[in-house]
């Protein structure tokens, strides 16, 4: 019988949106699932959507929809996005589905009946955005949410509580007895410290909104979204339903049960969830991999900062595989990584175009040129280089497997790139173009190219979980069909026949051109009302002179209708003062006046700028000063 592996992503909030940062979790789970399938595990990969809560209720009302309509639309587009990202999930559970709500209600009832949940009263500070209560000491200075910074609300309500305190000791024992329950270790230590500081019972129902799962015994209450959401990992498997075969197979009798989460939701998964399971009598046999954040250079990605990057934009422009590889190779387990287009282009060029792309292309071209696309497995070695490369292939495959099985993708990929670079070096060392000149060394030449072929074949197999399209293309070029981990090792091909027309997989990108186009759209979205706040007018420059002691600034007198304004503008690098006189420019006429170098500046001149080109003012030809610009 095959070993089993159950892999889950957190179910994403339908009120959030999928950006390059949070898509990491799902891509990482996909890599982990694909790796386990290729390793021979019977793998079940679950993702889904967390749909209840006040935020969606409010958003739906604002959009004139029912909450169900709103989440239906979001779930459909999100699931499609995952499919387009070649995410191979076996199920997509939504918390508004009947198969889920029915069982969550049942879970709550059981815990209530056995007094693990009890009725009490709650007074606290609640963040609607994060759907979480915070204690006074956790709040920001102005009472704001410690996670998202938005204002919290004081909430007082009658409320059900889950007895966390009762399970505190059992939880600590479990964590201590299972050193690999939470990885990496820093996160494990954090949880131990949190639990040791003492657990307070958790408020697990709300009466302040309706869009949730009502408590069966008291429908005025809806079940707290986290109790609702965490249960998805079991409800998707049919736990407590008429058919719980998946639950028995993947959970109770499963070999690997893995929840992958970002560090922000550690407490929910490492404390509340195991306690829920203990109370339900479900084996606590999962483990947690806790990853860090994908950050922008300036910090977190957020709508308000206007720095969100969407996966569709990246994959449409540079290809899905380049995006998947970047995220998986840049993120170390236990730390954050940065997404920037500078780094992305740099890595695209070095990892894909140079290292992998070149090796593949050189190898295919030589096999075609010297052997019309055909090679045979050599029956002996021709030098130390051969042995060394064979050993590198074997060692890399071993280290790669160890790293990927324990979610250390970056380490595993660094090993793969070590093999790729070793293989490129092998070409320089063995100089096949020199060997090719000597007819008596045909067998040696065949052996050199066979080694390169084998190294690339094994590389393609190892890369298949991360960049599946590229791995398949290499396999097709190599005349092979099924990618299989049994193929991880040197010398598994008896005779080789490669494509006659290799295509270039990754062309080098010109960083300057790419970055210029990326810089174009980096400001947050505004509404037409925001835009209408600008009073843009045509103004005629009637005087211009340099600002003393400044290389950049010009002092302009600009006529707008009957009035004359003074504007200090950074145009000195691009225009001589005389060139501007008489020009009709676009001026922001309602900008609050400021003093620049002691001169009052009563407006702003619009300019165009971009890498490699001088600053240019926006000119109007036909209109006279005072015309409106809209």
* Residue of the chain from 111, 182, 271, 301 that contacts ligand ME8 (CB under 6 A): 301
The C-alpha angle with vertex 523 and arms to 518 and 525, in degrees rounded to 5, equals 120
Closest Cα to residue 210, out of 82, 333, 84, 68? 68
User: Which one of 5, 6, 24, 212 is in contact with ligand ME8 (CB under 6 A)?
Assistant: 24
Residue 235 as a binder of ligand ME8 (CB under 6 A): the answer is: no
CB 630 within 8 A of CB 586: no
Alpha-carbon distance of 366 to 36, in angstroms, equals: 35
Q: Could you say which residues in the range 358-397 bind ligand ME8, by CB under 6 A?
A: none
20 burial (CB, 10 Å; 0-12 / 13-18 / 19+) is buried
CA angle 455, 470, 513 (to 5 degrees): 115
- Residue 230 binds ligand ME8 (CB under 6 A): yes
Given candidates 261, 463, 488, 589, which one binds ligand ME8 under the rule CB under 6 A? 261
Does residue 447 bind ligand ME8 (CB under 6 A)? no
Q: Which residues contact 13 (CB under 8 A, 6 or more apart)?
A: 49, 50, 53, 55
The answer to whether residue 202 forms part of the interface with ligand ME8 (CB under 6 A) is no
- Least distance (Å) between residue 237 CB and ligand ME8: 14
Query: Is position 21 an interface residue for ligand ME8 (rule: CB under 6 A)?
Result: yes
Distance CA 332, CA 230 (A): 26
Site string for ligand ME8, 268-297 (x = CB under 6 A): -------------------------xx---
Q: How far is the CB of 349 from ligand ME8 (least distance, A)?
A: 24
Residue 257 CB neighbour total at 10 angstroms? 21
Contact between 10 and ligand ME8 per CB under 6 A? yes
Q: Which long-range contacts (CB under 8 A, 24 or more apart) does 143-149 make?
A: 147/264
Pick between residue 130 and residue 461 the one whose CB is nearest to ligand ME8.
130
Give the nearest distance from C-beta 337 to ligand ME8 in angstroms: 9
Tell me the site size for ligand ME8, rule CB under 6 A: 20
Q: Shortest approach of ligand ME8 to residue 294 CB, angstroms? A: 4
For ligand ME8, which residue of 11, 223, 275, 416 counts as binding (CB under 6 A)? 11
**What tokens were used for 307?**
């720095």
**Which span (4-12, 140-148, 590-598, 611-619) binds ligand ME8, by CB under 6 A?**
4-12
| Integer Cα distance of 569 and 572 in angstroms | 8
Angle, CA 83 vertex, CA 79 and CA 89 arms, to 5°:
80
**CA 488 to CA 608: how far, in whole Å?**
55
Q: Which span sits near ligand ME8 by CB under 6 A: 11-19, 62-70, 403-411, 459-467?
A: 11-19
- Which residue lies nearer to ligand ME8 by CB, 327 or 460? 327
Q: Which residues of 474-503 are buried (b: 16+ CB within 10 A; e: fewer)?
A: bbebbebeebebebbbbeebeebebeeebe
Among 199, 215, 229, 436, binds ligand ME8 (CB under 6 A): 229
Residue 497: CB minimum distance to ligand ME8, A: 43
Pairing of strands 287-291, 256-262: parallel
Give the residue with the Cβ less far from ligand ME8, 301 or 364. Answer: 301
- The residue ranges that bind ligand ME8 (CB under 6 A) are 10-13, 16, 21-22, 24-25, 50, 229-230, 232, 261-262, 264-265, 293-294, 301
């Amino acid at each position: 019988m095959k070993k089993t592996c159950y892999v889950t992503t957190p179910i994403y909030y339908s009120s959030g949106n999928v950006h390059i940062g949070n898509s990491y979790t799902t891509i990482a789970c996909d890599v982990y699932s694909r790796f386990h399938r290729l390793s021979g595990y019977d793998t079940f990969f679950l993702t889904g959507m967390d749909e209840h809560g006040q935020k969606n209720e409010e958003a739906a009302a604002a959009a004139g929809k029912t909450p169900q309509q709103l989440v239906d639309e979001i779930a459909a587009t999100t699931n499609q996005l995952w499919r387009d990202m070649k995410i191979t999930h076996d199920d997509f559970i939504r918390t508004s589905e009947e198969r889920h709500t029915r069982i969550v209600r049942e879970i709550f009832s059981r815990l209530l009946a056995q007094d693990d949940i009890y009725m009490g009263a709650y007074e606290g500070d609640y963040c609607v955005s994060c759907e979480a209560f915070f204690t006074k000491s956790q709040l920001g200075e102005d009472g704001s949410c410690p996670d998202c910074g938005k204002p919290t609300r004081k909430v007082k309500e009658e409320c059900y509580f889950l007895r966390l305190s009762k399970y505190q000791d059992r939880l600590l024992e479990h964590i201590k007895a299972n050193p690999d329950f939470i990885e990496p270790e820093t996160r494990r230590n954090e949880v131990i410290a949190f639990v040791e500081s003492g657990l307070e019972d958790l408020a697990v129902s709300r009466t302040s909104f309706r869009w949730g799962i009502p408590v069966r015994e008291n429908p005025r209450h809806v079940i707290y979204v986290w109790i609702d959401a965490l249960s998805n990992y079991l409800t998707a498997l049919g736990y407590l339903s008429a058919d719980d075969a998946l639950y028995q197979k993947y959970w109770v009798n499963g070999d690997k049960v893995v929840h992958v989460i970002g560090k922000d939701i550690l407490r929910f998964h490492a404390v509340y969830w195991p306690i829920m399971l203990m109370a339900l009598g479900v084996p606590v046999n999962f483990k947690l991999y806790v990853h860090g954040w994908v950050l922008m250079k300036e910090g977190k990605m957020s709508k308000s900062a206007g720095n969100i990057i969407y996966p569709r934009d990246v994959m449409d422009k540079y290809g899905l595989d380049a995006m998947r590889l970047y995220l998986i190779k840049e993120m170390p387990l236990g730390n954050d990584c940065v997404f920037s287009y500078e780094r992305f282009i740099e890595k695209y060029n070095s990892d894909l175009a140079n290292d992998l792309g070149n090796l593949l292309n050189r190898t295919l071209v030589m096999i075609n040129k010297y052997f019309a696309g055909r090679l045979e497995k050599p029956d002996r070695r021709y030098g130390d280089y051969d042995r060394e490369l064979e050993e590198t292939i074997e060692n890399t495959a071993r280290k790669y497997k160890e790293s990927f099985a324990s979610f250390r993708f970056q380490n595993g990929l660094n090993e793969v790139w070590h093999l790729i670079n070793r293989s490129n070096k092998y070409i320089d060392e063995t100089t096949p173009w020199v060997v090719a000149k000597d007819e008596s060394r045909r067998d040696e030449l065949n052996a050199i190219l066979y080694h390169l072929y084998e190294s690339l074949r094994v590389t393609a197999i190892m890369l298949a979980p991360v960049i599946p399209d590229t791995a398949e293309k290499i396999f097709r070029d190599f005349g092979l069909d099924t990618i299989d981990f049994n193929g991880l090792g040197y010398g598994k091909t008896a005779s080789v026949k490669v494509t006659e027309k290799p295509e270039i997989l990754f062309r080098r990108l010109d960083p300057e051109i790419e970055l210029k186009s990326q810089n174009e759209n980096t400001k947050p979205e505004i509404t037409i009302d925001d835009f209408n706040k600008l009073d843009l007018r045509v103004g005629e420059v009637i005087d211009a002179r340099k600002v003393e002691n400044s290389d950049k600034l010009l002092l302009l007198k600009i006529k707008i209708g009957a009035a004359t304004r003074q504007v200090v503008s950074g145009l000195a690098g691009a225009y001589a003062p005389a060139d501007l006189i008489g020009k009709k420019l676009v001026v922001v006429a309602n900008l609050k006046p400021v003093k620049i170098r002691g001169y009052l500046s009563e407006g702003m001149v619009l300019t165009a700028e971009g890498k490699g080109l001088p600053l240019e003012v926006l000119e109007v030809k036909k209109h006279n000063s005072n015309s409106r610009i809209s």
